């Protein structure tokens, strides 16, 4: 197989496309779409988001010290894109996208009620890394919509039709290939 050699860059795709909601100290709410997000640690539970300093939400995040990661779905794809390409300086994204605000329980920030999972985060550290600054955060609460629980209480996010992002394109996640450990599971 032949491969091309490219200049250094991030090629870790696909990524989750999430909507991050934040409230500044004056009570103004905003949503920013980010794909630079993920898990940092299990114990304590930690996540991160990376945001460019010129984004409207950047100063809100620094000031508030907290945010909510709202997972996205096929039904939320339009809103996910819209919240990533418009500025909260110019438009109320909750109103324009017909999204419902729900109050977070542990932090002062809005959650997006239509999201199947809302992850409340308190910022513990901010690292200036270059084009993006990374906000490391402790997860202080998680809210999961009971619509996606099975009869045993197991959460089935796949029923919500989650989406991902790769090279400027949103994708619905598809076929189940296996579960954790299936490669070494003993045959019956």
Q: Identify the residue whose tokens are 């809210």.
A: 143
**Is a pLDDT exceeding 90 seen at residue 144?**
yes
Q: Which CATH number fits domain 15-172: 3.40.640.10, 2.60.40.1120, 3.90.550.10, 2.30.110.10?
A: 2.30.110.10
The per-residue pLDDT for 179 is 83
The per-residue pLDDT for 160 is 93
**Is a pLDDT exceeding 90 seen at residue 21?**
yes
For the stretch 82-112, what's the b/e string if a residue is b when 16 or more beta carbons lie within 10 angstroms of its beta carbon?
A: bbbebebeeeebbeebebebbebeebebbbb
How far the first Cα of the chain sits from its last, in Å, is 38
Q: Give the span between the Cα atoms of 55 and 29, in whole angstroms.
A: 14
The per-residue pLDDT for 96 is 97
Mean pLDDT of 77-105: 97
Asked if residue 29 lies in contact with residue 107, where contact means CB atoms within 8 angstroms, the answer is no
Query: Which neighbouring-strand residues pair with 59?
Result: none
Asked if residue 139 lies in contact with residue 125, where contact means CB atoms within 8 angstroms, the answer is no
pTM score of the predicted model: 0.94
Q: Give the span between the Cα atoms of 16 and 8, in whole angstroms.
A: 22
Q: Where are the domains of the chain?
A: 15-172
**Is a pLDDT exceeding 90 seen at residue 180?**
no
**Is a pLDDT exceeding 90 seen at residue 49?**
yes
Q: How many CA atoms lie within 13 A of 155 on its CB side?
A: 9
Q: Give the span between the Cα atoms of 44 and 112, in whole angstroms.
A: 24
**Is a pLDDT exceeding 90 seen at residue 121?**
yes
């Amino acid at each position: 197989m032949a491969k091309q050699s490219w200049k250094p860059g991030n090629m870790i795709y696909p990524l989750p496309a999430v909507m991050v909601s934040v409230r500044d100290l004056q009570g103004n709410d905003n949503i920013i779409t980010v794909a630079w997000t993920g898990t940092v640690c299990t114990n304590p539970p930690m996540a991160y988001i990376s945001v460019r300093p010129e984004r409207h939400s950047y100063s809100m995040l620094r000031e508030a010290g907290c945010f909510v990661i709202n997972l996205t779905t096929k039904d939320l794809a339009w809103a996910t894109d819209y919240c990533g390409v418009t500025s909260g300086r110019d438009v109320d994204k909750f109103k324009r996208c017909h999204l419902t605000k729900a109050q977070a329980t542990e932090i002062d920030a809005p959650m997006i009620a239509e999201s199947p999972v809302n992850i409340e985060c308190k910022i513990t550290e901010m690292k200036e890394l270059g084009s993006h600054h990374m906000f490391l955060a402790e997860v202080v609460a998680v809210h999961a919509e009971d619509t996606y629980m099975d009869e045993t209480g197991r959460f089935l996010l796949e029923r919500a039709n989650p989406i991902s992002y790769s090279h400027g394109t949103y994708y619905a996640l598809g076929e189940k290939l296996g579960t954790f450990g299936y490669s070494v599971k003993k045959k019956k």
